[in-house]
């Protein structure tokens, strides 16, 4: 017997009971209640669509103290049960990927992992590539992209010194798969390099901090566009997701002399 499970939504929007009923009784917006990649969650009343799924995610948000009306949450691409408030999601996802890379490097026997710099590409919405019928987003704002870069760099001071150990390729691959990073050629390439039997002494790698998160960002943008509702927060997520093409983090990894 094959057991199938419904994946957690990539985006979840919590509405007041009144707003939820308004969406449910609107023939146009009500279709979003059945969207596969996103959930519209009423604050406390019984949902009218995807009932079991909505109740399970609402309980999870209560447990994490994230159930707040008018808030959009995005699922972490690295941990299925973890959500971030939309305005904080991009920074959280970029940092999470850096630290996951650092953990992989630790499995590979590195003695030093150091953040070097952030580079941002802007001009084409990173979300458009994931849409079958692309939404028309705003043109990139170079000043806004620069402010995101400055904010990330000012809060992204990271340098880790380790004792170093023998290279453990098997556990590095297992960690990469567990964190759903196998599709990134730079991450898998680092492991392959260390599996050659001639490990590097120093390696500088540039990773796309939003590669795995792009589908969650797309789902969040599509949901808010279809519902045409003003959400809580500063609006940082919407502007960033519409303006940025990629956020790339350069990391320097060093191994001890052997």
Class of residue 255 by CB neighbours under 10 A (exposed 0-12, middle 13-18, buried 19+)? buried
Class of residue 12 by CB neighbours under 10 A (exposed 0-12, middle 13-18, buried 19+)? buried
pLDDT digits (tens, 9 = 90+) for 185-229: 999 999 999 999 888 999 999 999 888 998 898 899 889 888 987
pLDDT digits (tens, 9 = 90+) for 75-102: 999 998 899 999 889 889 999 999 999 9
pTM value is 0.84
Give yes or no for residue 127 having a pLDDT over 50.
Answer: no
> To 5 degrees, how large is the angle CA 208–CA 213–CA 216?
155
Distance of alpha carbon 98 from the chain centroid: 12
Give, to the nearest 10 degrees, the angle between helix 214-227 and helix 86-107: 170
């Amino acid at each position: 017997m094959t057991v199938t499970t419904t994946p957690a939504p990539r985006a979840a929007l919590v509405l007041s009971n009144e707003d939820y009923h308004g969406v449910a009784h609107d023939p146009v917006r009500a279709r979003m209640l059945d969207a596969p990649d996103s959930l519209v969650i009423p604050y406390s009343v019984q949902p009218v669509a995807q009932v079991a799924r909505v109740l399970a995610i609402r309980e999870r948000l209560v447990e994490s103290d994230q159930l707040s009306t008018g808030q959009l949450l995005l699922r972490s691409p690295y941990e299925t049960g973890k959500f971030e408030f939309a305005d904080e999601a991009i920074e959280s996802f970029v940092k999470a990927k850096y630290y996951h890379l650092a953990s992989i490097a630790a499995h590979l026997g590195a003695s030093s992992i150091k953040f070097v710099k952030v580079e941002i590409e802007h001009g084409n919405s990173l979300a458009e590539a994931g849409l079958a019928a692309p939404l028309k987003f705003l043109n990139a704002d170079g000043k806004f992209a620069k402010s995101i870069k400055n904010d990330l760099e000012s809060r992204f001071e990271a340098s880790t010194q380790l004792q170093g150990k023998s290279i453990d390729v098997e556990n590095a691959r297992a960690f990469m798969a567990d964190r759903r990073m196998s599709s990134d050629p730079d991450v898998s390439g680092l492991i392959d390099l260390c599996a050659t039997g001639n490990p590097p002494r120093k390696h500088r790698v540039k990773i796309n901090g939003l590669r795995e998160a792009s589908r969650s960002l797309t789902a969040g943008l599509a949901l808010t566009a279809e519902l045409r509702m003003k959400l809580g927060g500063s609006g940082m997520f919407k502007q960033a997701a519409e303006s940025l093409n990629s956020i790339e983090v350069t990391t320097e990894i060093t191994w001890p002399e052997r």
